[in-house]
């Protein structure tokens, strides 16, 4: 093999190696930033990654919103009509956030409580995020219980 051909082959090999490394780094970065949507039932069953961030979807339990006076701290419960999970959030809530409305909160678990970094509320009276509606339809609600633990 002559020197020119060897140099071209080495260059092509280096370019291929660099492309594989770049693709692997992009794939790794994307998987690190994924946040999956889970319902309270899935979290309580242990299906959610409690050691990392994820999204919690469901409906705000009636009468569960408790605001700390003079702060932006709020506690509430989210249900999928089968189970509920307490949520803590500090920040400005969306205008449409209220009892009985569907939400998606991003955050992590801490000692049985979901610590939300961000809360998104539905945008009109007929909208429920498709992922939340699908997961809630899969949950089996008890007929005498709204899943909120007796407000």
| Binding-site residue ranges for heme | 123, 127
Residues 6+ apart with CB under 8 A from 131: 37, 57, 104
Could you tell me where the beta strands, DSSP code E, fall in 61-142? 66-67, 73-79, 84-90, 102-110, 113-121
Residues 6+ apart with CB under 8 A from 91: 72, 118, 119
- Take residue 89 and report the two structure tokens written for it: 């959030």
CA–CA separation, 5 and 145 (whole Å):
76
CA–CA separation, 126 and 147 (whole Å):
21
């Amino acid at each position: 093999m002559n020197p020119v051909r060897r140099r071209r082959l080495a260059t092509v090999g280096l370019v291929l190696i660099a492309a594989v490394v770049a693709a692997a780094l992009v794939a790794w970065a994307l998987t690190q930033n994924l946040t999956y949507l889970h319902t309270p039932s899935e979290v309580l069953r242990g299906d959610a990654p409690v050691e990392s961030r994820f999204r919690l979807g469901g409906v705000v339990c009636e009468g569960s919103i408790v605001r700390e006076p003079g702060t932006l701290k709020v506690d509430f419960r989210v249900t999928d009509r089968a189970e509920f999970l307490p949520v803590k959030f500090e920040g400005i809530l969306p205008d449409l956030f209220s009892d009985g409305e569907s939400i998606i909160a991003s955050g992590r678990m801490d000692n049985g409580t979901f610590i939300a970094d961000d809360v998104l509320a539905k945008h009109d009276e007929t909208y429920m995020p498709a992922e939340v509606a699908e997961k809630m339809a899969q949950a089996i609600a008890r007929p005498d219980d709204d899943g909120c633990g007796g407000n």
